[in-house]
Structure 1
């Protein structure tokens, strides 16, 4: 993995103690992949306590985070570790002042909750399944199913560009409304086809107007072959209309519940 020179990333004052960047929580017997760099090119290690461990690297206390390189480094560490062990991933940018603070503020007060979540996630991985509309095909559907849209399209073809201005606006509104309705139907079809082969499902917000469906599935290692077959079958059924792809295995970001209030 390419790293940035320390002179560009973690310039610490003499005697300044490093802070602790936290990627996630694992069991204390987790084994880290070799040659793995974290945020700012720092070495990744484990801070252990009570059967759990924080997945961490050092970081300058005043270092700004938020570059694409930082985000990719965070994701790279979490995904590399998640390939071989169960990880409770933390969101990008989680920092505590010291390793001792990680123990005192996270590993001790939330110990039982971390244990429960890791037990629930054991033997599973997250997979994202995303469908994208084939533009020409879905527009043909919309025009074929909506007489007003078909009439507007024909009129726009016959009129000068300026004269068809309001017709184009109206046609665009009809297409957006129709795509919203189709997206709802197709998302339900995606969940219906794959939910029986998963432990949990999380529908995700579409990232673009041509998204047909976007959902995350928590899948056990046992069910993965059947899940992959079901994705392939749905992809064949939607061929020419929706391009379907499966992304993963991923760390289970979409299936980590909210932590309890401290002391509850």
Structure 2
């Protein structure tokens, strides 16, 4: 598990491209028969991916958590972006197929990821954050998520936001999670942009062709930077940073948030004229 620390925005102004990528980007989220995770000191989020191919994968706490098991003091969200698979929680199996989500409550001890077909392995994208209460585990399919169509063709941002882990869908402590799908011909997300003073966010970009990229915008509104993202890569956004993207083609991304509250619309919007 890679560990990254909090960053002061005045320091980030001086980062090179290489250092921005090293500190904010998770370049390899999925590796065959492996669980790849990043632990950030920004609101203590853990994010990454589990990709079982030839064997099932068990989630261990590791020395980073100093816990008996991974969700002893945490909750977790999972969305499958690969082939059909299963998540087994304390012996109970959940079929988690492509685009299915799963909220896993604090106190769940045994977490096992598996694929139905090694030739089309599941890819379980994971977000986890500290939790103060145990809420029930809930499976959320794409048809159970709240769908919010937004944008327009003329602004190149026609998209649908699917809210998987959201107060109107299920109870969680501080984790919010969902997926945004851009339509063909659209490339912009989260623009006009905003910051989240009371929580952080991680974006995971996927459904991208090999020769396409997303220019992920970050930084303070008056000190913007960008990180070039390829398929199945994740990027961290602290509370002081904008988080928006422009792609060379349409794409899909999963967003995950944790922090002070779970009010989805608690945002500090930035006027386009104030961006630098």
Pick the TM interval, shorter chain.
under 0.3
Q: What TM-score results when the alignment is normalised by the length of structure 2? A: 0.26
Higher helix share: 1
Higher relative contact order (CA 8 A, sep 6+): 1
Higher strand share: 2
Tell me which structure has the larger Cα radius of gyration.
1
Q: What TM-score results when the alignment is normalised by the length of structure 1? A: 0.27
